[in-house]
Structure 1
């Protein structure tokens, strides 16, 4: 009864000479939620968290709670809900549910009317005692939703106020006008994804007192078990190869996207954060307001989405790691958002097959799809490309984007189960659909530098470049093949990867993208940093966002130590931050003024190219020269595939770009030698890449077809055998002229040939 007593208050209302007795219940206060999920992601749109019956087509278990009514009597039952497909005039009502009082159902079924959140009248119930059991009973398993319940013996209709905790609700909940004060923090981090975790842990280990506020029950954001986007982007490389070591401590181990619940390690993330004495973690807390004194944030306001208790968090510095730039927006920070062609939101899904046939109900309210309308979910997975919302409002209509995604998934599975060819999937059943969306793009806060796409492509060197971005410029667009039925709101995307990012070494993002231009104590990290739409394509992946957080955390420590703001770190104290960025991720101190200690279990420094993930050249016969030891001219871009390469990765250059790569070797002894090159094959690589072998008395050009697999182990191709003398200089030069695709350089090998 503890939660119920905190949230359920009986009130008396007078209407002339008639006394009305009433009871207000926030749905999130149910003591036993059964199979209903607490959905907090649309609070800013509709004013409250709500319970969602996300049963994948099977009714979920009842949510129940005991309450004390003001008196026995005849109560009219209201629920704040909606028919979630009505906005599209879709046939049917998938979100149907009942409210039962002492096992008697209200006469009318809920979730059957209205295209927006409102108080639906369910009719009256006679209650003979003051102690009652309230039940939410799902009837479909298809995402019925309930925000709150209101029982009254009068005829008043609850107000449809969608403000966050308006006065009416606050009064009925008996909440104090003054919030609970949480102060004394050096850094208040809002958002518990990779960037927020990186900022909180990094700052805490450098002696800052940190509040980490997350509106979900788990950490990780898009990289949690709720969304299941596997973490991408290389870490631990470039000028500061120590950056990323904190991220390595909690990054997921998923082998595909979406991965399994276990692969995302929600408990590991939470335990790591809670193990830091300098961090106070506030899960299930939604930040809804910001106190600002002209250009300075003095506090953020949040409420507990389980109890509605208000809290006020005060600190010297703040970091917006919300993804949507929410704190910056509320504080009046400068921001921008792409007008058209924004990347959308994904809701991935998975299915499996059993030993027996499984029925799936018809879904006339879902998108009307046949098998040719969507890519077949190979490996039982609906992957990242189940994405919509490209030209929809990603902030004020996120629920609509998520619900459209759900309609697409349910329609696709209906096609698999109930349309032509359904016998192939007779044993198939849904195992998981993400009801928490995975957004990619919304507000972009403005810093002292707005990183441009051209900056990345031309490798513009900023003096404060620090976070290596190794993901290509990856922008998503609707895939035309699947956009014909729903051209105004397509739901399958295609990723268009631009060139220009060194995917092995990384392009160093400037620190000046990580703090606000006009709010002097506001940092930002994650996908809301100061970049253009195109540059966001390379910076937005989670490990890269996490490294931004690590830099913000260390910069916060410098700010506290020097009594300055984020901009001052760049202007006056860059050497101090530079020193901290070179420390191991596990380095720590008790306060920003304490001495730093480095634990014995700290990671070994990775070096500028990261950890070698390929074959060790020293393990191979003869002399092997890696591409990183070669001399390049022109635009070569590093790649680091998962397997098959030598050392750190390989480099590529476009056909006819004029780029060259020259390997120089010293012949160890006189004799017959075979010269080999290593490359990774791909269909868009060059089919006639020119390779010159030059030595005293040797001048030979070979045109290599890099669309076909190299014949030797470790992807080596023989270029010929040559009689060479000790100390001869051997040159292997790979060009791009008329290559017919990308020229690839990975390694050159010189092997003595046994002539006996």
Structure 2
């Protein structure tokens, strides 16, 4: 009897629940058919549970987002909108994020974005619809970052649960999603994060024969180096112990001339094109990873959902690479991690402005809710750029309150432009217009996942030689702090930073970061690449820039192929197969194989091998006629200055000097017997010597010459003839150039022995 009663009660509950669901409808804002001018924001899903739409109009209302929906039945519904007043947390005057909800073209009586410092369901009142099919629109009123997560229609009038859990059971039920996610895989390597490090890992792993899933929660690739954030990519590539590392990054990296650069400089389309060209990569843009499954010390899967449809997928794999920047996957998997309590670097939201046409409306709304700024309170955005130092959140919660950090940055930018347009800068900026503000933040520091080596500043400064050192870090140890002169007015959260550089890093060759920083010490099949690798806060100052992070990804991808081939862990690559990894690191970036068991092929368009200090910017001596000896292989005495400003040089640059003690000697051996022209390469300039002394010695024969380096060199590749000599094979000689008595700078670049036919 008792069992029958329980069964009846459960059945009744299911019926009631189904009935309640039949009279409700959840409409996710990101699922609107036409987004209009509203932007999809996926940065804060782990904070508030969902993507949302943002009216980022720089002070001008954006175009409506619209969609057509079918309600369960006609009649009267109560409507709730999940939103917030984004400046309420600061008790700021005004409500900049105001917007309306239109039903069949008519606004509800309530204006949204006007209540609550936290995300919550704003009761919009009742609406009666004569038809089940209605048009819904988000109608922005300000252009100042109004935001909408979702809209809920209910006949009962009861407010929905205000949950911040990602894809909660209630939300899945309302959306009709299966409780079990769709299965994807199994992959050899699942890469989470589509910035430079994630792209490097995915492309490298795919070209070495791994089947790869690349999961990115934005619509574009590149992370901080995309058109959404517009940080130019820094860090020298293709140099050091393994100058092939970085060739993949060279294929897609930006070449922006400023930071922030122009949208087109960041090549979003090129990045996606290169990734999609790899048959071994399945690319999942607009997919946010939020959960993992683990078996003991190994990850088994990562669960992600489509940020437009909410459909969720489970990606299973042999290996995983956390390239999220925040160490999100490692954190979810309970990998060991660290994060500074105080003194972290912050998040940037850069911006740009321009001069408008004289007859164009250039007014800018007053912003009483923004930071209260005058021109003296911020560095003037010269060259029309609010650069990297518009940064805040140093001691704030970089994970749990990233939205608050971003919003504080927006208040700073809008407050500054308000000062330029409406306050003490108004007379000088009458035709100024705000052209771009990054709503996607550029974070620098949060969690770091711990590996078998935790790289320290002392390791880098002392040039500690790890046997697995591989990725060259060439950026200085660059740490950011609030800039005092601008922080005094806003001590709680300063918004202008200063960079403090330690110049101990070799900017040309680079410090080789060890491979053991790129995998977790306690999750056996988890790699990491990017700013969440195993380093201290101080060491992060040099490893965090994008091209360096991208090279980490290249190493991870190659190491993953070794793991697949030998069915081993990332740690085993160091313990047992380091020589195999070294062999792969010497391969061109475009080397490829279909599977990890196939033969590696080198395509004809592989890049030319760079040297230990980077790609050769000048003429390659190995590709020139005859025997060419560059100045880097000569014997120098006295003081010489290196240069590369005059183009047409051989190798990596040239040398010049006025030091009376300066001399440079090019020793050579004849490659064969015969007659040879001996030539000297230089580049002319008005400050060069007009009587530079040159000595040519062959056996017991000495020839003296002078060269007027103010005039162009007459021969191909900027050489001049010093004389013709009959040489025996392996006969030794040298050419020596001195600066004393040169009549200006003595310039040396290379010598050439050219056989006379």
Question: What is the TM-score when the length of structure 2 is the normalising length?
Answer: 0.83
SS in 1 for 2:407: helix
Distance 1:526 1:18 in 2: 47
Aligned twin of 1:523: 527
Compared with structure 1, are the counterparts of its residues 477 and 639 closer, same or farther at alpha carbon in structure 2 (3 Å cutoff)?
A: farther
Aligned twin of 2:507: 503
Quote the RMSD (CA, aligned, Å). Answer: 3.5
483, 492, 495: which is aligned to 1:491? Answer: 495
Distance 1:492 1:275 in 2: 41
Superposition deviation, residue 13 in structure 1: 9.6
Distance 1:644 1:420 in 2: 51
Greater CA drift, 589-598 or 602-611? 602-611
Superposition deviation, residue 72 in structure 1: 2.2
Superposition deviation, residue 436 in structure 1: 0.3
534, 545, 559: which is aligned to 1:541? Answer: 545
Q: Is the 8 A contact 2:236 2:548 kept in 1?
A: yes
Superposition deviation, residue 617 in structure 1: 11
Q: Is the 8 A contact 1:238 1:468 kept in 2?
A: yes
| Counterpart check, 1:355 vs 2:357 | yes
Distance 1:640 1:212 in 2: 40
Distance 2:549 2:406 in 1: 23
Distance 1:728 1:48 in 2: 71
Superposition deviation, residue 355 in structure 1: 1.7
Compared with structure 1, are the counterparts of its residues 75 and 750 closer, same or farther at alpha carbon in structure 2 (3 Å cutoff)?
A: closer
Superposition deviation, residue 480 in structure 1: 1.1
SS in 1 for 2:151: strand
Superposition deviation, residue 487 in structure 1: 1.3
Structure 1 gaps of 5+ residues are 1-10, 652-660, 669-675, 679-694, 696-710, 715-725, 734-745, 752-756
Superposition deviation, residue 728 in structure 1: 10
Compared with structure 1, are the counterparts of its residues 75 and 245 closer, same or farther at alpha carbon in structure 2 (3 Å cutoff)?
A: same
Superposition deviation, residue 371 in structure 1: 0.6
Aligned twin of 1:684: none
Runs of 4 or more above 3 Å deviation: 11-15, 17-20, 612-619, 623-633, 638-651, 661-668, 711-714, 726-733, 746-751
Q: Deviations over 1:73-92 (max 9, x none)?
A: 22221100000000011100
Distance 1:629 1:18 in 2: 85
Superposition deviation, residue 650 in structure 1: 10
Distance 1:750 1:462 in 2: 35
SS in 2 for 1:272: helix
Compared with structure 1, are the counterparts of its residues 628 and 493 closer, same or farther at alpha carbon in structure 2 (3 Å cutoff)?
A: farther
| Counterpart check, 1:311 vs 2:313 | yes
Distance 2:662 2:508 in 1: 19
570, 573, 577: which is aligned to 1:569? Answer: 573
Distance 1:19 1:607 in 2: 66
Aligned twin of 1:738: none
Superposition deviation, residue 458 in structure 1: 1.0
| Counterpart check, 1:401 vs 2:405 | yes
Superposition deviation, residue 558 in structure 1: 0.7
Q: Deviations over 1:206-260 (max 9, x none)?
A: 1100000000000000000000001011111111111111101100121111111
Distance 1:457 1:644 in 2: 35
Compared with structure 1, are the counterparts of its residues 304 and 639 closer, same or farther at alpha carbon in structure 2 (3 Å cutoff)?
A: farther
Superposition deviation, residue 204 in structure 1: 0.4
The 5-angstrom pairing of residues 346-745 of structure 1 reads 346-356=348-358, 357-613=361-617, 648=652, 665=665
Aligned twin of 1:95: 97
The 5-angstrom pairing of residues 207-246 of structure 1 reads 207-246=209-248
Superposition deviation, residue 102 in structure 1: 1.1
The 5-angstrom pairing of residues 85-124 of structure 1 reads 85-124=87-126
Compared with structure 1, are the counterparts of its residues 677 and 486 closer, same or farther at alpha carbon in structure 2 (3 Å cutoff)?
A: farther
| Counterpart check, 1:141 vs 2:135 | no
202, 206, 212: which is aligned to 2:208? Answer: 206
Aligned length: 669
Superposition deviation, residue 421 in structure 1: 3.1
Distance 1:499 1:667 in 2: 35
Superposition deviation, residue 153 in structure 1: 2.3
Structure 2 gaps of 5+ residues are 1-12, 656-660, 669-681, 685-694, 696-708, 713-732, 751-757
Q: Is the 8 A contact 2:456 2:539 kept in 1?
A: yes
When Rg is computed on C-alpha atoms for both structures, the one with the higher figure is: 2
SS in 2 for 1:247: helix
Q: Is the 8 A contact 1:229 1:257 kept in 2?
A: yes
Distance 2:352 2:196 in 1: 24
Compared with structure 1, are the counterparts of its residues 39 and 12 closer, same or farther at alpha carbon in structure 2 (3 Å cutoff)?
A: farther
Distance 1:134 1:120 in 2: 17
Compared with structure 1, are the counterparts of its residues 749 and 492 closer, same or farther at alpha carbon in structure 2 (3 Å cutoff)?
A: same
Compared with structure 1, are the counterparts of its residues 88 and 632 closer, same or farther at alpha carbon in structure 2 (3 Å cutoff)?
A: farther
Aligned twin of 2:303: 301
Distance 1:510 1:250 in 2: 24
Q: Is the 8 A contact 2:637 2:664 kept in 1?
A: no
